[in-house]
Amino acid sequence: MFSYPVRVRFYHTDGMQVTHHANYILWFEAARVEFFRQAGIPLGDMMRDEIVFPILHVEVDYHHSSYYDDELEVHAKLIKLTRAQIVFAYEIVRPKDGTLIVTGKTKGTFTSVQTGKILRLPMKYYDRLRAMMEPGDSE
């Protein structure tokens, strides 16, 4: 599982210094981008090839609150990959006490920038992403 560290900044919080719920989705995205980078695929490369992967579905389950200045880890796991679709599962935890803060999923499709239509991901990207999957992981 890929881990991406975040620290809750003051601007991530509400008036009670509790993390605003929308930030977790932003952290899912940050972890996804870094996951691709770890796979050897900077998103700029895909965009130069006119490929994007818009998110079609997001699930978030909030288990506990996080607070200003908490150090968190976003765990991102690629659980489904086809040449047309990609699905990630996430956990956000507070390592200092092991608290599970949030779980979630995102589903995206590989899409042509020019046409806006779903396309088949080229093997040069597919193979790198597939290599990042853990054995036995698929939805």
Q: In this predicted model, what pLDDT tens digit does every residue of 88-138 receive, in sequence order?
A: 999 999 999 999 999 999 999 999 999 999 999 999 999 999 999 987 665
- Buried residues in 83-113 as b, exposed as e (16+ CB within 10 A): eebbbbbbbbbbeeeeeebbbbbbbbbbbee
pLDDT at residue 24 tops 80? yes
Task: Give the mean model confidence (pLDDT) for residues 70-95.
Answer: 98
Which residue type sits at 83? R
Domain count, the chain: 1
Residue 89 is assigned to a structural domain of this protein:
yes
Which CATH number covers residue 52? Answer: 3.10.129.10
Q: Is the pTM of this model over 0.85?
A: yes
Domain that holds residue 29: 1-130
Q: Tell whether 137 is covered by a domain.
A: no
34, part of any domain: yes
42 in a domain, yes or no?
A: yes
Q: Do the domain assignments include residue 138? A: no
1 found inside a domain: yes
Residue 139 lies in a domain: no
Q: Residue 103 has what pLDDT?
A: 98
Residue 32 has pLDDT above 60, yes or no: yes
Task: Say if 135 falls within a structural domain.
Answer: no
